[in-house]
Structure 1
């Protein structure tokens, strides 16, 4: 009877089910707990059964990236390019917030898979369709960087002091001592890093509002892109001007 049930499970197993189970496992337990053995247990199959659908763990991780990219909203048709890009980026950010492990995996990928290349291609298409030159679009993509995936490297990360993510909760007296040391050694950093504070009852807690800071920088970039587009900016002209000024 057990063999019959196992056989039925194997028949129903497919690549999509494997990837969705892997995503769910990473969501619930974290990447450290993701292994072919653990995934097989979650699916009720022996680990070897998974290799019919993914060749190895690296291919599994590539497939998980593919799965989360499919959750990002497509470009909004008919919208102005700034709004379309903004909505796409914020959708990607929402996906990464649902799947906290995804940023680590995206940063670790050495192979550009069809899903990744397809997303990048569709992102570039939004600027080209708006009339941006290929030259300007090239530099736009450099400026956007990881923002197209919905994340950036935060400069002021105080998550350790407010229990964010996997951070360790720091006692108030210990945190106060840390601030005193920073204030004595690096007063300018402390002044700027703590410039924007939030109420204790805020959703984001004390410290920087990461969503606000992300959108603030995104809007600055989009406004800058729009200005350069209207000016007919080219990298050749910009480099020539730099040489003349030098």
Structure 2
């Protein structure tokens, strides 16, 4: 006779993440998570009050995967590290894009992460206003890039971009500038859309570095 699975809130949330990874956030329910674990749905209520509480915990779980900067770390390195971490989490778990900051009651992992970001920036000489501008611009960029990346009809790298461009094959008569750009990008054989992330990130950080220098 098989032993009954040992339940805990952590195991329930991890199972919910697996369900969401396969079917999106809409697939997450007390019943589907219970089935993932191999128990009856009613047994989950001893650890999680209801579906909303489960989604709150799932949002917390996602944010716990995103690295938070050390307050005394060099601000630029810290923001790069956090941005790359957030991008990785959001691409691996696309369901998190629309819900980790949409919960009506932000959890401790989100608040702690945000506090560490602002602590690092304020400690590095940013004003509250400039730190807020930085925070808003970076998160919008990371979320937008992750959304684009996870929605592409191909997986970036290994020549996928070149194959896609060849399949689309825009007419040079109708789209001369697009054809020229694609031709130059693909000629090296090494172009990957994924590399655009660090390029865009550097451009944003360069702008804030300039603003910080001007304010000093």
TM category (shorter chain) comes to: 0.7 to 0.9
Instruction: Evaluate the alpha carbon distance shift between residue 79 and residue 86 of structure 1 in structure 2; reply closer, same or farther with a 3 A threshold.
Output: same
1:152 and 2:119 equivalent? no
CA distance in 2 between partners of 1:159 and 1:183 (Å): 26
Matches within 5 A, 1:68-217: 68-76=62-70, 79-106=73-100, 108-147=102-141, 150-153=142-145, 159-160=152-153, 162=154, 175-176=168-169, 179-180=170-171, 184=174, 196-197=185-186, 209-210=193-194, 212-217=195-200
Farther off after superposition, 112-121 or 218-227: 112-121
8 Å Cα contact 1:62-1:109 kept in structure 2: yes
**C-alpha displacement at 1:229, in angstroms?**
1.1
Q: Residues 48-76 of structure 1, C-alpha deviation per residue, up to 9 Å, x if partnerless?
A: 22233333333322211211222223324
1:59 to 28, 31, 53: 53
SS of aligned partner of 1:74: coil
Flag structure 2 segments of 5+ consecutive residues without an equivalent. 157-162
| Runs of 4 or more above 6 Å deviation | 154-158, 170-174
**C-alpha displacement at 1:82, in angstroms?**
0.7
CA distance in 2 between partners of 1:121 and 1:187 (Å): 48
Please provide the CA RMSD for this pair.
3.6
**C-alpha displacement at 1:132, in angstroms?**
0.9
CA distance in 1 between partners of 2:187 and 2:96 (Å): 28
8 Å Cα contact 1:81-1:126 kept in structure 2: yes
Which has the bigger relative contact order, CA under 8 A and spacing at least 6? 2
**C-alpha displacement at 1:39, in angstroms?**
1.0
Structure 1 counterpart of 2:160: none
**C-alpha displacement at 1:86, in angstroms?**
0.9
Instruction: Evaluate the alpha carbon distance shift between residue 196 and residue 104 of structure 1 in structure 2; reply closer, same or farther with a 3 A threshold.
Output: farther
**C-alpha displacement at 1:84, in angstroms?**
1.4
Structure 2 counterpart of 1:43: 37
**C-alpha displacement at 1:91, in angstroms?**
1.6
**C-alpha displacement at 1:127, in angstroms?**
0.4
CA distance in 1 between partners of 2:16 and 2:118 (Å): 30
**CA radius of gyration, larger in:** 1
